[in-house]
Amino acid sequence: MEPHNINYFESFFSEREVFKIKKGSRNPYENIPQPIREDGAGATDLGPRDVLRDIENPDMLVPPKTDAGTIPNLKFSFSDTHMQLYHGGWSQEITARELPISTTLAGVNMRLTPGGVRELHWHKQAEWAYMILGKARVTAVDQKGRNFIADVSEGDLWYFPAGIPHSIQGLEGGCEFLLVFDDGNFSELSTFTITDWFAHTPKDVLSANFGVSEQAFAHIPTKQRYMFQAEVPGAIETDEVLSPYGTVPQSLTYRLLQQEPMITSGGSVRIVDSTNFPASVNIAAALVEIKPGGMRELHWHPNNDEWQYYLTGTGRMTVFAASGEARTFNYRAGDVGYVPFAMGHYIQNTGTESLWFLEIFQSKRFEDVSLNQWMALTPKKLVEAHLHVGPELMDSLRKEKAPVVKYNERTDNS
């Protein structure tokens, strides 16, 4: 099953059937989780609380014994963001304002209706995008006057370098996508837009710049439009615009789901960075599937922080921060997770459906270090002396029998 093929609402409500108050029972609240460990640590919580939220976060309500320290929050849900509604669609964002630890990347979830337009604009930051559902037409022009027009669909990516003007328009059926920017303090509401610039330029200046009368600008918008409704575009050939300087030499889009995945016993992975998507010089990513009962093995990343977006399913992640600190979080579709630079972590599927998520980095290359691989390639006696483990573990590592999702080697598909 691909990451977008799921009935989100059916999944959402069926999972909440676990919360039922049993009327007439000696303990009518026996299905309500309590912050009590099996060893008796903790106590009941009888005060005001959000029980449904606690059901969604069992490992945050009752943390594993191995959790310790004061690691900051590494989770935020798009469901808790401010929704911006427009004629033509909506947008919501998670930046360092919502998730303060997220200093390297910020994310925007956006929906466009059929014909809905994210107006002509540009950013100080690079824009990387993953199409979740539907189709859109994207356009761009680079600093040498070369243009780019393409249609994107489910599972496709696009990348617009910082400062490059572009637009997005929903095609038949509309679309929903994730935008990621290479600055945690970015805000989608502070972009440079063409209508905003026109509205704040004197009409006599516009007249002189374009060589037409001021009357040509009599009906321009008086403020930024940001997003608006327009007609659904026709075939892409009808939007073709020939530039005397040609087209952008490197494709600004990439069909990620057409990449042959690396299949493992625990799931699959598709990796994309500047080696197979050359335009994407500052953002690298992996689309990961973890099957029920599987896990993304214990590992860390030696190049930058990790920003995660969960597409389907439920999972949990423990982050190890050194100095005796570790903290566990639960994630589900629509959540953003974050792992600071070099911190060890794993991701485990806790549900009955495949867990799909994106792990994204402010980097030109995707890099990770596997704990399993490190141990397997270190002298056996040295590892055993450190951990007091028997030969069974080392033999298992060297035979690579562990049911984990690994991707230290890969096959790129440009």
Quick check: 66 pLDDT over 90?
yes
Cβ(168)–Cβ(117) below 8 Å: yes
Residue 144, Cβ density class (10 Å: 0-12 exposed, 13-18 middle, ≥19 buried): exposed
Quick check: 71 pLDDT over 70?
yes
pLDDT of residue 31: 77
Q: Which of 18-22, 58-62, 201-205, 356-360 has the lowest mean pLDDT?
A: 18-22
Quick check: 251 pLDDT over 80?
yes
DSSP letter assigned to residue 277: S
**What is the amino acid identity at position 196?**
D
Is CATH 2.40.37.10 the right assignment for the domain spanning 87-254?
A: no
Residue located via tokens 């676990």: 18
pLDDT of residue 391: 85
Sheet holding 267-272, edge to edge: 75-77, 335-339, 306-312, 355-361, 284-290, 267-272, 262-264
pLDDT of residue 29: 58
pLDDT of residue 49: 92
Mean pLDDT of 43-49: 92
Structure tokens at 248: 């952008």
Query: Which residues participate in catalysis according to the annotation?
Result: 359
Q: What percent of the chain has pLDDT over 90?
A: 83
Question: Assign residue 110 a region: left if phi > 0, alpha if psi is -120 to 50, beta otherwise?
Answer: beta
| pLDDT tens, position by position, 319-368 | 999 999 999 999 999 999 999 999 999 999 999 999 999 999 999 999 99
Structure tokens at 6: 């799921």
| CA gap 32, 47 in Å, rounded | 13
Return mean pLDDT, the chain: 91
Cβ(128)–Cβ(277) below 8 Å: no
Mean pLDDT of 148-162: 98
| CA gap 55, 4 in Å, rounded | 24
Mean pLDDT of 407-414: 42
pLDDT of residue 410: 41
Which one is predicted more confidently, 79 or 404?
79
Quick check: 413 pLDDT over 60?
no
Mean pLDDT of 18-33: 58
CA–CA distances in Å: residue 283 to residues 138, 181, 391: 19, 9, 41
| pLDDT tens, position by position, 188-203 | 888 999 999 999 999 9
Give every CB contact of residue 57 below 8 A, 6+ residues apart in sequence. Answer: 329, 330
Cβ(79)–Cβ(96) below 8 Å: no
Structure tokens at 132: 């979740």
Q: Which of 42-51, 360-369, 398-407 has the lowest mean pLDDT?
A: 398-407
pLDDT of residue 30: 67
Quick check: 157 pLDDT over 70?
yes
Give every CB contact of residue 293 below 8 A, 6+ residues apart in sequence. Answer: 266, 349, 403
Quick check: 94 pLDDT over 80?
yes
CA–CA distances in Å: residue 41 to residues 49, 61, 62, 277: 19, 12, 10, 51
pLDDT of residue 414: 36
| pLDDT tens, position by position, 300-315 | 999 999 999 999 999 9
CA–CA distances in Å: residue 94 to residues 67, 100, 300: 26, 10, 23
Residue whose C-alpha is closest to residue 272's, from 109, 281, 263:
281
Quick check: 28 pLDDT over 70?
no
If pLDDT is split at 50, 70 and 90, which confidence band does 262 have? very high
pLDDT of residue 392: 87
Residue whose C-alpha is closest to residue 179's, from 195, 191, 194:
191
Three-state secondary-structure class, residue 292: coil
Structure tokens at 393: 């573990």
Give every CB contact of residue 142 below 8 A, 6+ residues apart in sequence. Answer: 148, 161, 164, 248
pLDDT of residue 24: 53
Residue whose C-alpha is closest to residue 341's, from 369, 304, 300, 370:
304
CB atoms within 10 A of CB 384: 14
pLDDT of residue 26: 54
Structure tokens at 66: 């191995």
pTM above 0.85, yes or no: yes
Quick check: 19 pLDDT over 90?
no
| CA gap 96, 92 in Å, rounded | 14
Mean pLDDT of 254-264: 96
Ranges of each domain in the chain: 87-254
* Pairing relationship of beta strands 355-361 and 306-312 according to DSSP bridges: antiparallel
Q: What percent of the chain has pLDDT over 70?
A: 89
CB atoms within 10 A of CB 63: 18
pLDDT of residue 199: 98
